[in-house]
Amino acid sequence: MDSRVNTKLLRKVLVGFIREEVEKVGLRKGVLGLSGGIDSALVAFLAAEALGPENVYACIMPYRTSNPESEAHALLVAEQLGLNYRVIEITSMVDAYFELFPEADQMRRGNKMARERMTVLYDHSAAFSALVLGTSNKTELLLGYGTLYGDMASALNPIGDIYKSHVWQLSQEMGVPEVVIRKKPSADLWAGQTDEQELGFTYREVDELLYHMVDLRFSRAELVAKGFAPAFIDLIYGKVQNSHFKRRLPVIAKVSNRTIDRDFRYSRDWGK
């Protein structure tokens, strides 16, 4: 992978994307969930530049087990940029549900939290006439390391075609606080959790592989020749394949001559 990218050019394209795609639908505002992590911090910076900080609504949505540092970092970003922000704790909503299902495991609870946050964002979207900005990067989207209809849900995603390695670079360029850039990425579902520990490899390693596999379309033999371990290649290929459903609309059973998205095809910017 080009270990460095032209971040000034990238910034220009992404800021233009947010501004134009928001204005196209007749709106001026964006809303996003600020987790305290780097991805949402970067999107907040991009959105503030595109729309003006007064037009960006940040929801900071901790759960009782969230690391308090996360909220502190989210507040740091929101205050540095001068965003409209609000802390909305999701503990009561999530816990009320799991009182019915006390046996629920960590994964179910994590997904529920992600989807609870999504409903808050979409409610704010309606309340403030603001589009929901997605904060999933390309690495996460390809690995399926996100919750369907949870953190993966958005109207516009400015960073969905950018690997984590480049998220770090662009964040430097945009002036995201160093403390946010430097900390270990975490889904923050429980104390001490980190992405790289949970995934079993580093973002740098997997980005390098995904770039060759997906972007450059190297064959398996070419990837092996390039020095990637066969087991690692197969593991990642499997993750991409098995999470593909998360990147698609629900499957519709075809019976008519024109089925939505199969032979009824329009751009989303139709008429915009």
φ, ψ of residue 149 to 5 degrees: the values are: 60, 15
Sheet strands (E) in the chain? 29-33, 56-60, 84-87, 130-132
Q: Is 250 in the site for another protein (CB under 8 A)?
A: no
Q: Which is nearer to another protein, 78 or 133 (CB)?
A: 133
Question: What is the nearest approach in angstroms of another protein to the Cβ of residue 218?
Answer: 17
What does the radius of gyration of the chain's CA atoms come to, in whole angstroms? 19
Structure tokens at 229: 């371990």
Q: Do 182 and 53 touch, CB atoms closer than 8 A?
A: no
Q: Draw the binding track, 144-183, toward another protein (x: CB under 8 A; -: no contact).
A: ------------x---------------------------
The CA–CA distances, whole Å, from 267 to 100, 192, 272 equal: 42, 42, 10
How many amino acids of this chain bind another protein (CB under 8 A)?
23
Stretch that binds another protein, among 15-23, 85-93, 143-151, 221-229 (CB under 8 A): 15-23
DSSP-derived letter for residue 245 is G
Q: Which is nearer to another protein, 125 or 169 (CB)?
A: 169
Q: Which of 4, 227, 248, 250 binds another protein (CB under 8 A)?
A: 4
Question: What is the nearest approach in angstroms of another protein to the Cβ of residue 84?
Answer: 25
Question: What is the nearest approach in angstroms of another protein to the Cβ of residue 92?
Answer: 36
Among 233, 184, 241, 230, which Cα is nearest to 209's? Answer: 233
- The binding site for another protein (CB under 8 A) comprises 2, 4-6, 9-10, 12-13, 16-17, 20-21, 24, 156, 264-272
